[in-house]
């Protein structure tokens, strides 16, 4: 669909000139499953303790989807809330992007299932896989369509049912992850600069730090692959931690440099919610004050592509940023992948 909206404001960022219409988040929404799994619940499943999980990660509880509750269900509910906040009807949506590593099925895409559930029959739809960085990758792709004038309204969703790929016998990983979804509606909003810049990066050399060996074309499901627990995620936690801190600091620093901003000018910093110690290290190295950082991982754990999407929605609804405030999102995940976005709210 070619939009007839006028090309008015242009977000121009020194060192990274953007042409075309500005693109704003005009509504956000989130959805987490009802079931809460606390650290003390986990003590009954693996050899762990609330004390270990809390001090090493900051996580107290996470949400776990029901057996008949899928990534597309969480994604659809988050999308409905974002659409309500934006005042957008299903038939106005031109494109749906779902960032996920836990699609309902290998194919068709979860985005197509969401399109059907929403009744967004005009929308094109596809999934995007950049692990925990997927939501920022998705926003960048979506905003390019709006900026160019190709599309008027893009729905970007980060959604996961990580409980379906977590090895519940592996205490190194099963305590970390949770399920949920977050969504935003992207449109041109006259008079607002919106998304100012996006940094994205990847390093496939380190793909084995965090991955799931089975289920793809390299290792399709066999009795042997299932018995060998190859269909669960694996992570080298300590090594991943180091790269997470470095990559998030450099992505955030580059995003601020492009916009010629100091960290003190950012109202709210929303990092990928993987580990409280990562958040604190990133905040400290960027020179941020603790009150600038938004953290909800104590309640949800690491929800991968949904993480910053849920956090963004919660921060907005909690009044952590007002129209015109500057917001910094910064992410890191499997791939390795990373990214940062500066937004004028």
Based on its alpha-carbon atoms, the radius of gyration of the chain, rounded to whole angstroms, reads 19
Contacts of residue 141, defined as CB under 8 A and 6 or more positions apart, other chains included, come to 97, 128
**DSSP per residue, 38-65:** EHHHHHTTSS--HHHHHHHH---EEE--
For 67, counting Cβ atoms within 10 Å of its Cβ (0-12 exposed, 13-18 middle, 19+ buried), the class is exposed
Residue in 150, 112, 143, 117 with CA at minimum distance from that of residue 26:
143
Query: Which among 179, 193, 205 is positioned nearest to 11, based on CA atoms?
Result: 193
Residues 105-134 that bind ligand UT7 (CB under 6 A): 132
Maximum CA extent, the chain: 60
| Beta strands per DSSP E along the chain | 12-13, 16-17, 24-31, 36-38, 61-63, 95-99, 124-128, 154-161, 179-187, 195-202, 210-211, 234-235, 268-271, 326-333, 337-344
Q: Among residues 11 and 312, whose Cβ is nearest to ligand UT7?
A: 312
- Contacts with ligand UT7, 303-332, as mask; x by CB under 6 A: -----------------------------x
Per-position x/- string for 50-89, each x denoting binding to ligand UT7 as judged by CB under 6 A, each - no binding: --xx--xx--------------------------------
Q: Least distance from C-beta 53 to ligand UT7, angstroms? A: 6
In the bound complex, which residue of the shown chain has the CB atom lying closest to ligand UT7?
237
Least distance CB 175 / ligand UT7 (angstroms): 4
Chain centroid to CA 204: 20
What whole-number distance in Å separates Cα of residue 147 and Cα of residue 140?
10
For the bound state, the minimum distance from the C-beta of residue 213 to ligand UT7, rounded and expressed in Å, comes to: 17
> How far is 209 from 105, CA to CA, in rounded Å?
24
Per CB under 6 A, the segment of 18-26, 222-230, 274-282, 312-320 that binds ligand UT7 is: 274-282
Output the smallest distance, CB 120 to ligand UT7, in A.
29
CB of 118 to ligand UT7, least distance (A): 28
- Residue with Cβ nearer ligand UT7 (169 or 224): 169
Please, what is the minimum distance in Å from the beta carbon of residue 129 to ligand UT7? 14
Closer Cβ to ligand UT7, 96 or 340, answer by number: 340
Distance CA 100, CA 281 (A): 26
- Of 148, 234, 237, 261, which lies in the binding site for ligand UT7, with binding defined by CB under 6 A? 237
The Cβ-side half-sphere exposure at 159, using a 13 Å CA radius, reads 34
The nearer residue to ligand UT7, 242 or 317, going by C-beta atoms, is 242
Residue 270 makes contact with ligand UT7 by CB under 6 A: no
73: part of which helix (H) or strand (E)? helix 71-86
Contact residue for ligand UT7 among 302, 305, 315, 326 (CB under 6 A): 302
- In the complex, what is the shortest distance from the CB of residue 232 to ligand UT7, in angstroms, rounded to a whole number? 15
Residue 20, phi-psi category: left (phi > 0), alpha (psi -120 to 50), beta (remainder): left
User: Looking at 110, 163, 240, 292, which residue binds ligand UT7 (CB under 6 A)?
Assistant: 240
Number of residues that bind ligand UT7 (CB under 6 A): 21
Q: Which of 116, 172, 225, 250 binds ligand UT7 (CB under 6 A)?
A: 172
Determine if 278 is a binding residue for ligand UT7 (CB under 6 A).
Answer: yes
As annotated, the active-site residues are 132, 272, 302
- When binding is defined by CB under 6 A, the residue of 74, 83, 95, 175 that contacts ligand UT7 is 175
Q: Of 282, 101, 90, 67, which is closest to residue 181 (Cα–Cα)?
A: 101
Overall size of the chain counted in residues: 345
Tell me if 244 contacts ligand UT7 by CB under 6 A: yes
Applying CB under 6 A, the residues found at the interface with ligand UT7 are 48, 52-53, 56-57, 132, 171-172, 175, 210, 237-238, 240-241, 244, 274-275, 278, 302, 332-333
């Amino acid at each position: 669909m070619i939009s007839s909206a006028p090309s008015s404001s242009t977000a121009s960022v020194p060192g990274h000139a953007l042409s075309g219409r500005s693109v704003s988040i005009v509504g956000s929404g989130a959805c987490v499953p009802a079931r809460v799994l606390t650290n003390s619940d986990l003590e009954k499943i693996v050899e762990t303790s609330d004390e270990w999980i809390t001090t090493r990660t900051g996580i107290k509880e996470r949400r776990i989807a029901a057996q008949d509750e899928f990534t597309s269900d969480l994604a659809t509910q988050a999308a409905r809330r974002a659409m309500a906040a934006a005042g957008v009807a299903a038939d106005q949506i031109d494109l749906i992007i779902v960032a996920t590593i836990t699609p309902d099925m290998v194919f068709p895409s979860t985005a197509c299932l969401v399109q059907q559930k929403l009744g967004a029959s005009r929308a094109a739809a596809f999934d995007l896989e950049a692990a925990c960085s997927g939501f920022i990758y998705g926003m960048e792709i979506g905003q390019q369509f709006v900026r160019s004038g190709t599309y008027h309204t893009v729905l970007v969703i980060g959604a996961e049912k990580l409980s379906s790929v977590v090895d519940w016998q592996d205490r190194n990983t099963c305590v970390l992850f949770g399920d949920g979804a977050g969504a935003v509606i992207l449109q041109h909003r006259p008079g607002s600069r919106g998304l100012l810049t996006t940094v994205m990066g990847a390093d496939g050399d380190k793909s084995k730090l965090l991955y799931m060996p089975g289920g793809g074309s390299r290792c399709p499901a066999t009795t042997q692959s299932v018995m060998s627990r190859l269909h669960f995620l694996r992570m080298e936690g300590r090594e991943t931690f180091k790269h997470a801190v470095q990559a998030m600091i450099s992505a955030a620093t580059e995003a601020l440099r492009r916009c010629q901003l100091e960290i003190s000018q950012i109202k709210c910093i929303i990092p990928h919610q993987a580990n409280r110690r990562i958040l604190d290290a990133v905040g400290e190295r960027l020179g941020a004050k603790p009150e600038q950082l938004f953290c909800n991982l104590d309640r949800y754990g690491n929800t991968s592509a949904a993480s910053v999407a849920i956090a963004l929605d919660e921060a907005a609804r909690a009044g952590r940023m007002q129209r015109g405030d500057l917001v910094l999102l910064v992410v890191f995940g499997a791939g390795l992948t990373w990214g940062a976005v500066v937004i004028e709210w």
